[in-house]
Structure 1
């Protein structure tokens, strides 16, 4: 059976990938900062390598010869400019460090998990051939992920066998702080407003299956968008409300209002040093309306686009199991 080395194993998507790898019989090594916490989240069947993403080559002696695939999933998803320097270090520097390790280990393949945010805002449906508009974005997350992708493509030109995956919004089990935050606020009646944006929603387990499938089926140097049903934020919240037996959400908050509120809150944040309730970056993503096509991934990786109702139900079921609703 093949051997994997994975970063971001304790995260939302990483835990799904661990499930898929374990079920397929892979030998799994996972880079973690806290082994005890990782063991509680992931369980058995994984060899934990304690280390730092930025200095991962120092962990080389803890890894065996013959790593078949490095799955680079870890990322800093902060949406607050105060954390931009750290985000750049992790998203760009961490990717560079992993690529160096891949070269030193002579791993067969490097699967890099990115995001559709690297493409920026497009009026037309985003595909793998769309322009990268996030390279100079004011939003740190989008910009650093786009630059990290460039580092991967540069490595491909040097002989690294890499594939890039670009998931859209991911919903499902194991979500502890992404879309689940909005679901919890909806359940508690504390949601400040309905975001006016829209996009594609991918299922966590389905994305993980495509990430693992990219090891064998992905084409070197190619991007694969992992899409799903297109829905407005209000439609997403309405599905969650129905599952929670809560009243349907009202009309979306106008984009200009949400953005103005975020700017005002940021002024206060600059004085207090505390993170605002809504950052300008969060307002940007909440107002974003972008459609993306996952046809290439469906065709070449066997990617499954899952109904949004199922993904929302999986997320809420998990939150109930964790006694967070």
Structure 2
């Protein structure tokens, strides 16, 4: 049986990846900070390696020789500039630490989970050949993920066998705080407005399947965009409203209003020290309109695009199971 070492196993996407690895018979080692919490989320049958992403080489003695693949999924997804220094440490420093471990363990392959945010805003459909504008972004998440990708590609030039996956928006089961927040607010009638942006919505399980497939079918040093149906934020919320039996959302809030409001709230935040209801970074992502193609992943990784209706339904079913709706 192949052996995997995974970071971010208790997260939204990580839990899907663990499911796929289990089903395929992998031996799984997972880096966690709290073993008891991790066991409650993802169950037994996994060897938990308690440690720190930034000092993961210290955990080397807890891992066997012959790790076949390192799946680096963990990331800081904060959208508040106050977290920027910590975000850089985790997204960049954590990736460097994992690459070092990969080299020391002589793992067969390093599968790095990035994001389409590294490409930034493009008028044309984004493909793997598009310019990575995120490296110049004022948004810490986009910039740090783009820098982390560069570290991976630098490692490839030094001989590490790595593949990079770039998911778009991800929807589905196990979502506790991403798109599920909007679904919960929609259900409660507390959604402050409809975001004006649009993008591709990928299914969590389908993304995980492609990430695991990248171990055997991904090409060294290559990027693969993992997307899905293109929809506006209003269309996404309308599907959620239909599934919840709630009224359809109204018209989108103009982007300029969101951006101005977020700036005003940031001024108040600077005085109070509290996180604003909407940060400038969140306003940026809410107004973002980007289309991305996943043709390469479909052709090379057997990636499957899942109807957005199904992904929304899976997300809502999970929230109901958790008693959060």
Give the TM-score, by structure 1 length.
Answer: 1.00
Specify the alignment match of 1:40 in structure 2.
40
Aligned equivalents of 1:274 and 1:159: distance in 2? 45
Aligned equivalents of 1:213 and 1:248: distance in 2? 38
> How far off is 1:200 after superposition?
0.1
Aligned equivalents of 1:49 and 1:286: distance in 2? 36
Q: Does 1:278 align with 2:278?
A: yes
Aligned pairs (5 A) from 1:1-325: 1-325=1-325
Per the alignment, in what secondary structure is the counterpart of residue 136 of structure 2?
coil
Per the alignment, in what secondary structure is the counterpart of residue 210 of structure 1?
helix
Q: Over aligned residue pairs, what C-alpha RMSD do you find?
A: 0.2
1:46-67 deviation per Cα after TM superposition (whole angstroms, max 9, x unaligned): 1000000000000000000000
1:167-217 deviation per Cα after TM superposition (whole angstroms, max 9, x unaligned): 000000000000000000000000000000000000000000000000000
Displaced runs of 4 or more, over 2 A? none
Aligned equivalents of 2:2 and 2:196: distance in 1? 44
Per the alignment, in what secondary structure is the counterpart of residue 88 of structure 1?
helix
Per the alignment, in what secondary structure is the counterpart of residue 38 of structure 2?
helix
Return 5+ residue gaps in structure 2 as ranges.
none
Return 5+ residue gaps in structure 1 as ranges.
none
Aligned equivalents of 2:24 and 2:271: distance in 1? 52
Aligned equivalents of 2:167 and 2:45: distance in 1? 27
Aligned equivalents of 2:268 and 2:190: distance in 1? 21
1:231-285 deviation per Cα after TM superposition (whole angstroms, max 9, x unaligned): 0000000000000000000000000001000000000000000000000000000
Aligned equivalents of 1:245 and 1:265: distance in 2? 33
> How far off is 1:136 after superposition?
1.3
Aligned equivalents of 2:185 and 2:284: distance in 1? 19
Give the TM-score, by structure 2 length.
Answer: 1.00
Aligned equivalents of 2:18 and 2:252: distance in 1? 37
Q: How many residues align?
A: 325
Aligned equivalents of 1:271 and 1:321: distance in 2? 40
